[in-house]
Structure 1
Amino acid sequence: MTGEIALLAGQTEGVKDLPVGTVVTLREKAPEPVGGLRWEAPVFSGPGVQAADGAATLTITRGTTAEVMLVNPIAVVRPPVGGFTVTKESPERGRRWSRQTGSSPWRTPTCTRGEP
């Protein structure tokens, strides 16, 4: 027997009347991409749940209802970063002020002797 259960975050659904000894295998379809995020491997857990390689198996036992928890971890994808350098020259004094991104504010520029 095969089937599909579609759930949204926070929803619970199940299958009843499975024969004792049935081995159930659960896999999740890859969630839709979300800009700036990366879906990690799904994490299945619960009593009697064996999780491996992004899937889970469990065996149906008499008189119990197996409970499986599924968590979809996400990671923030940081965009590539760069920087820039600004040089301000003062021809009348022969001095050069430079600032790189991430350094101190313009009020305290780095002053070096150089050719205008």
Structure 2
Amino acid sequence: MTQTHSPATEATAEADVEAGGRGLAKLNPSPRKAYEVALTLNKAPGAFGLVEAAAQYDVSNEQQCGKIQPETGTAGRITSQENVVLKKISETEYRGTVYLDLMQDEDYYGRGVCY
């Protein structure tokens, strides 16, 4: 499926990215490539009030599918940073799940599927 977006839609997406959002990038509603991550705090100076994690997702073929930047003639990378929920196992251990296929493979700019 080929997606084409109006300049207004692309401008809104770019503003969303600048504000920390994901822009045009969509999340896969049924990710399957799950990996458990474990975080161990070794010799911490004290208890942590908050422990958070995030995973960054980048398309790997932006030259074939990304939006061409008029200033440089190069394609921009579609990227998204998503929170990883961590579950406290003990005072020093947390676990969460990262999905390698969380970002949706899609034709965002009518130049081919980004993956």
TM-score by length of 1: 0.31
Structure (1 or 2) with the greater helix fraction? 2
Whichever of the two has the greater Rg, that structure is: 1
**Does 1 or 2 have the higher relative contact order (CA < 8 Å, sep 6+)?**
2
Structure (1 or 2) with the greater strand fraction? 1
TM-score by length of 2: 0.31
